[in-house]
Structure 1
Amino acid sequence: MLIEGVVSDRGSKYAVSGSAVRDRAEVEAFLKDLKRKKKYAKATHNTWAVLLPDGPLKNDDGEGGAGQVILQMLEREDLRDHVVVVTRWYGGKHLGEDRFRHVATCVRTYLDALRR
């Protein structure tokens, strides 16, 4: 699932995507497939997290702390074996702490879409 245009703030744009996965190899395959789309390959950050049977994984992709925000939300929802990726295209202005709020908004949007 891919949801674009979730948040736009001071030129930065956010999208969220995800998929059911069984292991690290499937996480890597999902990320590789996502980045086949030129737009996502050129994104400033593709942060992600997943709860797998052998433990949690996360990656900030340069957006320090964003992977942890995603991971905590997945833990709260007990959503296992499902990678969630929040993509950001930097708009030229620093967002400070607002960037974490935007990551959380993206994850909530994704979780809401899963429930439908």
Structure 2
Amino acid sequence: MALTVHDKIISDRGSRYAVSGGPASTPDEVRALLTELRRNKRFAKATHNTWAAVLGGEGYKDDDGESGASQIILQMIERAGLQDHIIIVTRWYGGKHLGGDRFRHVVDAVRHYLAAL
């Protein structure tokens, strides 16, 4: 399994974002990719590793504390027609609340990932 990582793509008021992803066709492969990402200490210490995946036509997601963010990722994966794939948006909280801007950053991160495919 190949995990693609785009680090340090967005910075706002101290919060930093990265986006990662790769092919996955089973929940076990999703777990393996998340484990691979978290083996990097920087990503293991992130505030949120929010993800979504479409596996066999069914959507899976986990906000990892970033309420509502995984639904945005899932919708973007579905709109892009991407199957058997996971996208993970990582955020390191910078100390200041971003309000609705955090959702804009999630969208921008997923767009960055999809454009690189």
TM-score normalised by structure 1 residue count:
0.96
Structure 1 unaligned blocks of 5 or more: none
Paired amino acid for 2:87: V
C-alpha distance in structure 1 between counterparts of 2:14 and 2:25, whole Å: 36
* Structure 2 equivalent of residue 90 of structure 1: 93
> 4+ runs of 1 displaced by more than 2 Å?
none
For 2:58, which of 46, 55, 64 is the aligned residue? 55
Paired amino acid for 2:90: T
For 2:28, which of 25, 28, 36 is the aligned residue? 25
* Structure 2 equivalent of residue 76 of structure 1: 79
The secondary structure found in structure 2 opposite 1:26 is helix
Paired amino acid for 2:108: T
C-alpha distance in structure 1 between counterparts of 2:36 and 2:113, whole Å: 18
C-alpha distance in structure 2 between counterparts of 1:96 and 1:59, whole Å: 20
C-alpha distance in structure 2 between counterparts of 1:53 and 1:113, whole Å: 23
Structure 2 unaligned blocks of 5 or more: none
The number of residue pairs the alignment matches comes to 114
